């Protein structure tokens, strides 16, 4: 048993060390001067009355040339006053924008597809209606596109914390996920991304039709697209600059939070990318290894010193991963939060994985 645990820990160490190396080797983009690419920002929304004004204000404050950008909003059958609030915010502005309506179709993928096909820009950038960003966001993403001649750009997403212990732990967990995302891209092994901050050529979307084989799944618009682009050897880069960050509020309602995380985990059963499957298995087995070690130690079946060694080993790797992304990540994950999370996370991760096997989550009032 101990030999198995050591073997799992070894593979986990190699994986996280490779992510750290990927983060450290990435170069920063050039300055934002003389950007020339035409851009369409596509934003699906459904019942976002409480947050959409914050997004609209952030878009109004973008320093990117207004002549080069359009904003395409797609209303996915909202039943609140979100659309009216959006119109009120933008109607007197100089932004070029449109608000499209889904009719027969429903869901985020249908909304994105409608918006992207309607868009006129060379570069498509997607975000969510419950997000906001700093004024240099668009310029930073487009600079990555032009500097790297990329096909697909993954941008960083940060959870906004209210500085409670729970919020700080969730922020740290999400920061580690983004650091893994960037590190994997840094070693040309992209495996996950977040649709709240993506950019890609419209021509690429038309070429590969990323939702064609997974339109029956409510989520996964981001990762399935990434995997198809990767399978076709398209150039994928990460926007490793603080200016490129998109922020979003963390889910504070416990039931909604569980639904969100189960939804994320459930779609992984449909992944076919070999790197994603391998990385997921290594991380899952490491969490299961820690949890099993805790139980065996509690029943005097495993030496306490081995458990401590395993926890310390995992914590050091995870904390170094967070530090490897600190040059661009605005989240300042403290040693204390990272240490506490290292004890809690294996239990939480295994629990979510088990729930995803049978629990049917909801999203925006819909069973998925």
CA distances to 21, 174, 186 from 322, rounded to whole Å, are: 12, 10, 15
3-state secondary structure of 41: strand
pLDDT in tens, 276-329: 999 999 999 999 999 999 999 999 989 999 999 999 999 999 999 999 998 777
CATH of the domain at 162: 3.90.550.10
pTM of the predicted protein model: 0.91
Paired strand residues for 131:
248
Judge whether 145 lies within some domain.
yes
Based on the domain organization, do 16 and 33 belong to the same domain?
A: no
pLDDT in tens, 216-273: 665 668 999 999 999 999 999 999 999 999 999 887 777 777 777 777 777 777 788 9
Based on the domain organization, do 56 and 143 belong to the same domain?
A: yes
Based on the domain organization, do 232 and 280 belong to the same domain?
A: no
Judge whether 364 lies within some domain.
no
Based on the domain organization, do 7 and 36 belong to the same domain?
A: no
Judge whether 363 lies within some domain.
no
CA distances to 40, 41, 60, 134, 221 from 90, rounded to whole Å, are: 16, 15, 8, 18, 27
- Residue 260 structure tokens: 């969100």
Q: How confident is the model at residue 29 (pLDDT cuts 50, 70, 90)?
A: low
Based on the domain organization, do 127 and 240 belong to the same domain?
A: yes
Judge whether 268 lies within some domain.
no
Judge whether 312 lies within some domain.
yes
Based on the domain organization, do 119 and 215 belong to the same domain?
A: yes
Based on the domain organization, do 201 and 115 belong to the same domain?
A: yes
Based on the domain organization, do 117 and 213 belong to the same domain?
A: yes
Based on the domain organization, do 7 and 35 belong to the same domain?
A: no
The whole-number pLDDT of residue 336 equals 86
CA distances to 112, 253, 261 from 72, rounded to whole Å, are: 10, 30, 28
Q: Judge contact between 43 and 331, C-beta under 8 A.
A: no
Locus of tokens 């820990």: 9
Judge whether 215 lies within some domain.
yes
Question: Which of 252, 283, 308 lies at the terminal end of a domain, its last residue?
Answer: 252
CA 209/CA 86 separation, integer angstroms:
29
CA 277/CA 331 separation, integer angstroms:
28
Our count of domains for the chain comes to 2
Judge whether 101 lies within some domain.
yes
pLDDT in tens, 86-98: 999 999 898 999 9
The whole-number pLDDT of residue 276 equals 95
CA 167/CA 156 separation, integer angstroms:
18
pLDDT in tens, 104-121: 888 899 999 999 999 999
Q: Judge contact between 69 and 39, C-beta under 8 A.
A: yes
Based on the domain organization, do 16 and 31 belong to the same domain?
A: no
The whole-number pLDDT of residue 162 equals 77
Based on the domain organization, do 160 and 45 belong to the same domain?
A: yes
- Residue 203 structure tokens: 């021509």
Based on the domain organization, do 86 and 150 belong to the same domain?
A: yes
Q: Which domain holds residue 141?
A: 27-170+181-252
Judge whether 265 lies within some domain.
no
Phi and psi for 276 in degrees, rounded to 5?
A: -60, -45
């Amino acid at each position: 048993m101990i030999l198995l645990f050591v073997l799992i820990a070894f593979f986990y160490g190699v994986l996280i060390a490779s992510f750290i190396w990927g983060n450290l080797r990435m170069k920063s983009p050039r300055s934002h001067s003389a950007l020339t690419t035409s851009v369409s920002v596509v934003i699906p929304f459904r019942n976002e009355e409480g947050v959409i004004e914050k997004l609209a204000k952030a878009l109004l404050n973008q320093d990117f040339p207004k002549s080069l950008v359009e904003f395409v909003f797609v209303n996915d059958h909202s039943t609140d006053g979100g659309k009216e609030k959006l119109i009120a915010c933008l109607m007197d502005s100089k932004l070029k924008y449109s608000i499209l309506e889904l009719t027969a179709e429903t869901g985020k993928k249908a909304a994105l597809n409608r918006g992207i096909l309607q868009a006129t820009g060379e570069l498509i950038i997607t975000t969510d209606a419950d997000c906001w960003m700093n004024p240099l966001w668009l310029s930073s993403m487009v600079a990555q596109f032009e500097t790297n001649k990329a096909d697909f750009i993954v941008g960083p997403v940060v959870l906004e914390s209210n500085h409670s212990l729970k919020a700080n732990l969730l922020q740290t967990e999400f920061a580690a996920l983004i650091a893994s995302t960037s590190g994997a891209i840094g070693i040309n092994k992209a495996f996950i991304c977040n649709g709240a901050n993506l950019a890609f050529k419209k021509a690429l979307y038309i070429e590969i039709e990323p939702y064609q084989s997974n339109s029956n799944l409510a989520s996964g618009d981001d990762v399935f697209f990434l995997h198809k682009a990767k399978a076709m050897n398209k150039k994928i880069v990460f926007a490793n600059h603080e200016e490129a960050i998109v922020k979003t509020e963390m889910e504070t309602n416990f039931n909604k939070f569980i639904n969100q995380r189960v939804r994320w985990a459930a779609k992984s059963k449909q992944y076919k990318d070999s790197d994603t499957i391998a990385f997921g298995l290594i991380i899952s087995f490491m969490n299961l290894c820690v949890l099993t070690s805790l139980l065996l130690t509690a029943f005097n079946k495993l030496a306490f010193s081995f458990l401590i060694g395993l926890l310390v080993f995992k914590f050091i790797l995870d904390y170094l991963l967070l530090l490897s992304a600190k040059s661009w990540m605005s989240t300042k994950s403290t040693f204390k939060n990272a240490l506490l999370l290292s004890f809690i996370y294996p239990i939480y991760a295994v629990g979510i994985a088990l729930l995803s096997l049978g629990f049917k989550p909801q999203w925006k009032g819909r069973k998925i």
